[in-house]
Amino acid sequence: MCRVVYDHGMAYLKLHKCTCGSEFLARCSVAKDCATCRKARRKQTTNAWHHANREKHNDQRRAGKHRYDTVNRSVRLEKAYRNRLGISRDVALQLRKQQGGLCAICSIETAMDAGRGGSRGWALDHDHSTGRVRDILCNSCNRILGAIENASNVQNYLEYLERHRRNPRDLIVSPPPRTGKGGANRSKSYCKHGHPFSGDNLIVINRKDGYARRVCRTCRDAALRR
């Protein structure tokens, strides 16, 4: 089914019948699918390619993100400083340089950029009532200062610590060794789908924190095929 319904100069819009039953307008005389069907077909084709070329697709995404971060690093950092601190990055870094890169309270070395890398992330301390900038603090000191500044009984905290420093209790806390979820999983001999953690079906991955993670090969292969 194809008939001319609108004449716009030399271009003809024709009414076509899609395979799904709907009618649509197109200039091409050989158009077969409507926009909805074409979009669904492109999505299906793209998903199939991603599934068949998972590693290549992930490499392309990582490379693209790296290129974007490299080209737009200064723009992203400037936007982050404006949104989080309310001042430009150059002004914040100049304040940090005047302090020698150290926290104004504990004197620990802070990171180059707020909240990123280095020994410890830093924050721009300011008076919340007036908005006036004070100094550069590490994140830990900034949180502690915020709790103390908003507390009305700071002297009670200091007296409490001093009282227990002079008269410590004989009771000593000895917490058990930390096992967490990993400790519970190490005692299991089957994965959550019932496959045994033994032989060729067991994959051991050594993590950076010193713990080992056990992975079921059958479940991993099934996930990669999906």
Half-sphere exposure of residue 153: CA atoms within 13 angstroms, side-chain side: 4
The pLDDT of residue 2: 45
Provide the strand spans (E) within the chain.
2-8, 11-17, 23-26, 122-126, 133-138, 202-206, 212-216
User: Domains in the chain, ordered, with CATH?
Assistant: 2-51 (no CATH), 73-152 (3.40.1800.10), 185-225 (no CATH)
Closest to 34 in 3D by CA, of 16, 50, 48, 46: 16
Q: Express each pLDDT in 99-122 by its tens digit.
A: 888 888 888 887 665 544 444 578
Tracing tokens 């953690």 back to the chain, one arrives at 197
Report CA Rg, the chain: 31
Q: Express each pLDDT in 187-197 by its tens digit.
A: 677 787 788 88
Q: Which two tokens stand for residue 90?
A: 């150059």
Higher pLDDT, 105 or 128: 105
Q: Express each pLDDT in 48-103 by its tens digit.
A: 988 888 888 888 888 988 888 778 877 887 887 787 667 888 888 888 888 888 88
At 193, the amino acid letter reads H
At 80, the amino acid letter reads A
Closest to 31 in 3D by CA, of 22, 6, 8: 22
Tracing tokens 């103390």 back to the chain, one arrives at 148
Q: What percent of the chain has pLDDT over 70?
A: 77
Q: What is the mean pLDDT of the chain?
A: 77
Is the four-CA dihedral 69, 70, 75, 80 of positive or negative sign? positive
Residue pair 136/99 in contact by the 8 Å Cβ criterion: yes
Residue 33 has pLDDT above 50, yes or no: yes
d(CA 112, CA 101): 8
Pairing type for strands 122-126 and 133-138 reads antiparallel
Q: What percent of the chain has pLDDT over 90?
A: 0
pLDDT band at residue 173 under the 50/70/90 scheme: low
